[in-house]
Structure 1
Amino acid sequence: MIAAERKRFPWGAGILLLLATVAAVAAGAVISFSRNDAWYATLDKPALTPPDFVFSLVWPVLFVLMAAGALMVLERAGNFERALSPLGIYYTMLAANAFWSLAFLGMQDVALALGAIAALLLLIIAMMQDFARYSRTAALIQIPYLIWVSFATYLNLSILALNSDG
């Protein structure tokens, strides 16, 4: 009788996943720190806009939860190929997240950013559904991210409405 092969964590895929997450964090940070603060300061913002420091507290926690969920899926799947769908959505979601920063803060295009964040919301929902096929916990720990991006969508839409020329 052949002994059951012990399942090993796919370290290479896990490291690449973490590096991609760090790259998305870094891209957002570079864009955020290099943004034109004078432009952002002149925007009319809704009453529920939190102070700037809140964003720098919330985002690191959310990225840790995102990566933790993706790693849980990878571990449960056993290799990248078996988790291609949820991790493909994860990588696409990371790119959409970074693109929102570029559109809103880098390009100062609030309307384009609204489109990007709407796509991001859909990607988060799809990612959570796909994560749940592998790990319910991996999906559930994305709820704070979904809530935060929903709130950010409200902020983006409100800023667009408050600053439109029409």
Structure 2
Amino acid sequence: MSKKEKIIISLIGLVLPTVVGVIAGKIVGANGFMNTYENQPLIMPPAFIFPIVWSILYALMGLAFFMVLNSEEDCQNIKIASFVFLLQLALNFIWPIIFFKLQLCGVAFLTIALLWMLIFINVLIFSRINKCAGILLIPYLLWVAFALYLNLSICILN
């Protein structure tokens, strides 16, 4: 791969998580997030917190992916890391659609549980390539653990 191609791919990797998040948000719609389920858990952040947190997390994800794509690591390891990252990003994209738009709470719970596992694996893989890149994904892992709790609580309450 030429240096120019690597730069282009790295820049795409930097912005890709944010683009995916924006598209999923547009599909769900601004009013679709918190008004979907009548009964909410006791520990529920105010609605305005979610876009702020997700914006920060998408930026961290993009930066972590950028760092991995620009590492001097073996090409095969970068391919594996990229595959896992893109797989978890795909689940990140479909979860809000399943949970909010389709209102399939149980399917959404299974999806976000799988997402959490893939993020955990992603943290381990990224850390082997670039320790800082792995650390940058830890807030994402923790937030999705909290979202997993919210998803389960909402399923039980509704």
- Indicate whether the TM-score tops 0.5: yes
Q: How high is the TM-score relative to the length of structure 2?
A: 0.88
Structure 1: gaps (5+ residues): 1-6
Name 2:9's counterpart in structure 1. Answer: 13
Name 1:67's counterpart in structure 2. Answer: 62
Alignment counterpart, residue 22 of structure 2, candidates 26, 35, 41: 26
Alignment counterpart, residue 139 of structure 1, candidates 134, 139, 153: 134
CA deviations 1:24-57 (Å, max 9, x no partner) are 11222113325546852x5211110111100011
1:28/1:80 CA distance change after superposition, 3 Å: farther
Name 2:106's counterpart in structure 1. Answer: 111
CA deviations 1:90-136 (Å, max 9, x no partner) are 11111100110110111111111101101100110111111011111
Rounded to whole Å, the distance in 2 between the matches of 1:86 and 1:103 is 26
Which residue identity lines up with residue 9 of structure 2 in the other structure? Answer: A
Q: How high is the TM-score relative to the length of structure 1?
A: 0.84
RMSD: 2.3
Name 2:143's counterpart in structure 1. Answer: 148
85-94 vs 14-23, which moves further: 14-23
Say yes or no: does 1:43 pair with 2:23.
Answer: no
Runs in 1 of length 4+ with deviation above 3 angstroms? 34-39, 77-82
Count of residues in correspondence between the two structures:
156
Rounded to whole Å, the distance in 1 between the matches of 2:145 and 2:69 is 26
Rounded to whole Å, the distance in 1 between the matches of 2:66 and 2:34 is 39
Rounded to whole Å, the distance in 1 between the matches of 2:45 and 2:33 is 16
